[in-house]
Amino acid sequence: MPYRFQPRYRFLGYRGEGGGVIGAAEELGPEDGVWPREFQSPRWYTRAGSVGRWDSEPWEDPLHPSAEFRRGDFFELKNLRTGDLEPPGAEVLAGLIKVYQYWIALSDCDGFRVDTVKHVSWEASRNFCGAIHEYAQSIGKENFLLLGEVTGGADMARNYLEIFGRNLDAVLDIGAPAAALRGFTKGLRHPQDFFRKFGGHDALGTHREVGKYHVSVLDDHDMVGQKKARYAAGNTTEWRHEQVAHAAGVQLTTLGIPCLYYGTEQALDGTVDRHDARIEPPDGHGEIPFADRYVREAMFGATFGAFRTSGCHFFDPGHPTYQRIAAIARVRNGADAVGRCLRRGRQYLRPTSFLGRPFGIWGPGELVAWSRIFVGSEVLMVFNSHGAQARGAMVTVDAALHAAGEPMRYLYRGDWSAAQLADLPDDQTVPVDKGPDGRLVVHIHLPPSGFAILASGQGMQSVAVR
- Higher-confidence residue of 164 and 354: namely 354
Average pLDDT, the chain: 89
Cα–Cα–Cα angle for 435, 436, 440, rounded to 5 degrees: 20
User: From edge to edge, which strands make up the β-sheet containing 391-396?
Assistant: 352-353, 391-396, 440-446, 433-434
pLDDT digits (tens, 9 = 90+) for 434-453: 999 999 999 999 999 999 99
- Each residue's pLDDT tens digit, 253-271: 999 899 999 999 999 999 9
Of all residues in the chain, the percent with pLDDT exceeding 90 is 61
- Could you tell me which residues come within 8 angstroms of residue 4 by beta carbon, excluding any fewer than 6 positions away? 48, 49
Alpha helices in 165-259 (DSSP H): 176-185, 191-195, 207-213, 240-253
* pLDDT given at position 74: 84
What value does the mean pLDDT take over residues 224-245? 91
- Give the alpha-carbon dihedral of 312, 317, 323, 327, to 10 degrees: 140
Query: Quick one: pLDDT at residue 27?
Result: 87
**375-421 pLDDT, tens digit each:** 999 999 999 999 999 999 999 999 999 999 999 999 999 999 999 99
Q: Can you tell me the distance from the alpha carbon of 68 to that of 56, in angstroms, rounded to the nearest whole number?
A: 8
Distance CA 403, CA 62 (A): 53
CATH of 321-456, one of 3.40.50.720, 2.60.40.10, 3.30.1490.20, 2.60.40.1180: 2.60.40.1180
SS (HEC) of 16-44: CCCCCEEECCCCCCCCCCCCCHHHHCHHH
pLDDT for residue 458:
47
Q: Cα separation of 361 and 198, whole Å?
A: 15
Phi, psi of 392 (to 5 degrees): -140, 155
- Say what the pLDDT of residue 208 is: 44
Question: Quick check: 328 pLDDT over 90?
Answer: yes
Has residue 457 got a pLDDT over 70?
A: no
pLDDT tens-digit series, residues 279-325 = 889 888 788 888 888 899 999 988 889 999 999 999 999 999 999 99
pLDDT reported for residue 84: 79
Strands 170-172 and 145-148: parallel
E strands, 186-314, where?
Answer: 214-217, 257-259
Query: How does pLDDT run across 46-65, given as a tens digit for each residue?
Result: 999 999 888 888 888 888 88
pLDDT for res 456: 85
pLDDT tops 80 at residue 236: yes
Q: How many CB atoms lie within 10 A of CB 422?
A: 14
**Predicted confidence (pLDDT) at residue 343 exceeds the cutoff of 60:** yes
CATH of domain 13-280: 3.20.20.80
DSSP H or E stretch at residue 218 = none
Look up the pTM and report it: 0.87
Whole-number Å distance between alpha carbons of 242 and 247 = 8
SS3 298: strand
Confidence (pLDDT) at 161: 58
Closest alpha carbon to 32 in 41, 20, 48: 20
Q: Do domains 13-280 and 321-456 have the same CATH topology?
A: no
> What's at 50, amino acid-wise?
S
CA-wise closest residue to 223 among 149, 117, 289, 275: 149
Inform me whether the pLDDT recorded for 362 exceeds 70.
yes
Query: How is the chain split into domains, by residue range?
Result: 13-280, 321-456
- H helix runs in 19-121, sequence order: 68-71, 89-107
